[in-house]
Structure 1
Amino acid sequence: MFKLLTKATPFSAVAMSLSACSNLPASSTSAAKIEVGEMQVNPDIKLRHMVYRPAHPKGTVLFLHGFPETMYAWKPIVESLSSDYEVHAFDWPGYGQSSRPGADRFSYAPIDYAHVLEDYIRTSGIDSSKLVIYATDIGALPALLAALEQPNIAREIIVGDFAPFNRPQYMYESLQGLKSKPSSDAVHAAMNENRDEILANTFFRGMPAEERYTLSQEFRDDIAKGWGGDITSADAFYHYYSYFTRDQDYFEANMAKLKVPVKVVWGEQDIYIKKEMGVEYANRNGVELTIFPKLGHYPHLQAPKQTVDEVRAAFGAGGNPESD
């Protein structure tokens, strides 16, 4: 998701000509107010989370971010949905303001992120029968692993731009390098050394200047602030990848057991994880796949209205799970 030898580009120098939020419908009511706080979900993990709670929610949505994001990646989308749905998002361990335990206490593996997700849903008191999970990048495999363990974890899971299978040929070169030693150690070190370059360019890599989109200052400040700590976001990503092949192989061997309806969405121009990964997953599991033309690895940032539309469609006509 980065180039090992690239001159750092400060945020202010990144050309962004398209507004990612300009086409988002405003919430129809101001009644839903954001709650930002911390939640202890197990003895080792405290998560920073945001919640919008309208007076009469038609269902619940939980958004799961990717690398190098935080929960603020979802804020414009959350606000747009907040008049109709109870909406949750949190920082994964190692990101934003959530816990960063040592790797001897928490592995940062996809399966352990899955357990964090299960803990959050339980601790939050979310009614899984009314829950849609929308997960991208590193958040997607944990959502599916959790669904294997808890078949009723949600009414639907939407996943996209992730790597459910061990298919290095579909992945960006630096991501391939993270999957095994000794290359993973070199990539890990380069990531920590190139923080500014990663945060400035990851979201736009490979795009012509005229296709770059706006990131809010709040989000950019949050991912910069949330990178550091005893465990950096690069460290968390490295540890995740050290277990990635194991957990991908487990998922591939067991995916036929999934009971939760799954939909796959993908950016056509994703350079980090090619759309062929999503095509294979959808074809083998007989699930719906939507490929977003001209979008990259972060469709929710580049064209957030499409994410809003996917969530509303998941709840069906009228957006009310109780009408199913």
Structure 2
Amino acid sequence: MSAESPRAWGPNIATHATTRYRTVEVEGLKIFYREAGAADAPTLLLLHGFPSSSRMFDALIPLLASDYHLVAPDYPGFGQSDAPPASDFDYTFDHLAHIVDRFTDALGLTGYFLCLQDYGGPIGFRHALRRPERIRGLIIQNAVAHEEGLGPMWVARRAFWRDRQAHEATVLAAFTSLEGARLRHVGSSPNPERYNPDTWLDEFAMLSRPGQERIQSDLFYDYRTNVASYPTWQAWLSEHRPPTLVLWGRFDPSFAVDGATAYARQLPDAEIHLLDAGHFVLDEAADEVAVRMRRFLDARRPAGAPHTHNRRSP
């Protein structure tokens, strides 16, 4: 485990690779996704957090697309994907994971590294349990699979799970407000000037769309099933021992750094790095994340497999 300053890293890795913005139909829903890199390069499936979308990977994708194939979907109810009303769609993590399963089928993806952030953790772990043969490794960024990762803010959230009606208004105010969106990004970072306010303004606009309060309330009420699933996910990690890189923002107001180090119990060979960043590490440390990811991924590139080096993408 390390906590090196980003200044220790060399110049940025930049490319002229472009992102394609696409949609695919999955069980009658329009699922939007970002894609970059050559389709025959090693694939990364990027699963976003709350209340973000695949847009959270905008800075990262061009830094990796010269050598990797990146695919980042928006879940139903998020970003540019369809958001059917909660009366017509079951907003649970099981259901979102099912949609991700079918999304990968629709794109013909058969083997990939899973990149998990926040809500992408419970969605991705469910997907890994269902499709273990596809998982080449994990890249975990502030996604919790251990109780000690849940900081003091989760006291009120657990109360919501025990009595939804009594605590829903309080929890939703924090989850859907503009200030809540800002704090999720900046957290306790000593460098707030590094954060682009357009990020949380856009997220607040998404959360203000008709029907979003009910969608996000249903989904977060279901979050209790994730905590109950931690032992199952831990057992899967112990059994399969996937190569794992953990990149954790130490200024996260919600997920404690103990959630990062806890992965070492099941994955003693995991690379674990605590970064000077918040809940969304890419806001403040995209360059460092890209360098660490490249080192991790390059070390696991199949023997003899060439780097793509800006070859034309389809």
TM superposition score category, shorter chain reference? 0.7 to 0.9
Aligned to 1:227: 207
1:203 positional shift: 0.8
The 5-angstrom pairing of residues 155-234 of structure 1 reads 155-166=136-147, 170-173=151-154, 174-182=156-164, 184-191=167-174, 195-208=177-190, 210-215=191-196, 217=198, 219=199, 222-232=202-212, 234=213
Paired letter, 1:99? D
Q: What SS class does the counterpart of residue 179 from structure 1 fall into?
A: helix
Distance of 1:23 and 1:104 partners within structure 2: 50
Aligned to 1:124: 107
Q: What SS class does the counterpart of residue 72 from structure 1 fall into?
A: helix
* Structure 1 gaps, min length 5: 1-17
**Contact 2:101-2:127 within 8 A present in 1 as well:** yes
Distance of 1:228 and 1:113 partners within structure 2: 21
Aligned to 2:51: 68
1:159 positional shift: 1.6
Aligned to 1:307: 289
Residue 246 (structure 1) aligned with residue 225 (structure 2): yes
TM-score normalised to the size of structure 2? 0.80
**Quick one: which of 246, 250, 255 aligns to 2:234?**
255
1:180 positional shift: 3.4
Q: Note closer, same or farther for the CA distance 1:263–1:111 as it changes in structure 2 (3 Å cut).
A: farther
Residue 134 (structure 1) aligned with residue 115 (structure 2): yes
Distance of 1:237 and 1:164 partners within structure 2: 21
Distance of 1:168 and 1:185 partners within structure 2: 23
Paired letter, 1:47? I
Q: Note closer, same or farther for the CA distance 1:211–1:223 as it changes in structure 2 (3 Å cut).
A: closer
1:120 positional shift: 1.6
Distance of 1:125 and 1:118 partners within structure 2: 11
Residue 275 (structure 1) aligned with residue 254 (structure 2): no
* Structure 2 gaps, min length 5: 1-5, 306-314
The 5-angstrom pairing of residues 8-23 of structure 1 reads none
Q: What SS class does the counterpart of residue 103 from structure 1 fall into?
A: coil
1:166 positional shift: 4.7
Q: What SS class does the counterpart of residue 264 from structure 1 fall into?
A: strand
**Quick one: which of 97, 121, 125 aligns to 1:144?**
125
**Contact 1:64-1:133 within 8 A present in 2 as well:** yes
Residue 36 (structure 1) aligned with residue 24 (structure 2): no
Q: What SS class does the counterpart of residue 163 from structure 2 fall into?
A: coil
Distance of 2:149 and 2:115 partners within structure 1: 24
Q: Note closer, same or farther for the CA distance 1:322–1:179 as it changes in structure 2 (3 Å cut).
A: farther
Aligned to 1:47: 31
Residue 25 (structure 1) aligned with residue 13 (structure 2): yes
1:123 positional shift: 0.9
1:272 positional shift: 0.7
Distance of 1:246 and 1:97 partners within structure 2: 26
TM-score normalised to the size of structure 1? 0.78
1:49 positional shift: 0.9
Q: Note closer, same or farther for the CA distance 1:289–1:186 as it changes in structure 2 (3 Å cut).
A: farther
**Contact 2:148-2:258 within 8 A present in 1 as well:** no
Aligned residues: 292
Q: Note closer, same or farther for the CA distance 1:89–1:227 as it changes in structure 2 (3 Å cut).
A: same
**Contact 1:64-1:71 within 8 A present in 2 as well:** yes
1:35 positional shift: 1.4
Q: Note closer, same or farther for the CA distance 1:33–1:111 as it changes in structure 2 (3 Å cut).
A: same
Paired letter, 1:253? T
Paired letter, 1:196? L
Distance of 1:269 and 1:58 partners within structure 2: 34
Distance of 2:148 and 2:158 partners within structure 1: 9
Aligned CA RMSD, in angstroms, stands at 3.0
Aligned to 2:80: 97
**Contact 2:187-2:279 within 8 A present in 1 as well:** no
Aligned to 2:308: none
**Contact 1:159-1:263 within 8 A present in 2 as well:** yes
Aligned to 2:270: 288
1:110 positional shift: 2.1
% same residue: 19
Residue 106 (structure 1) aligned with residue 89 (structure 2): yes
Q: What SS class does the counterpart of residue 291 from structure 1 fall into?
A: strand
Deviations 1:59-102 (CA, angstroms, capped at 9, x unpaired): 11121111121211111110111111111112222211212223
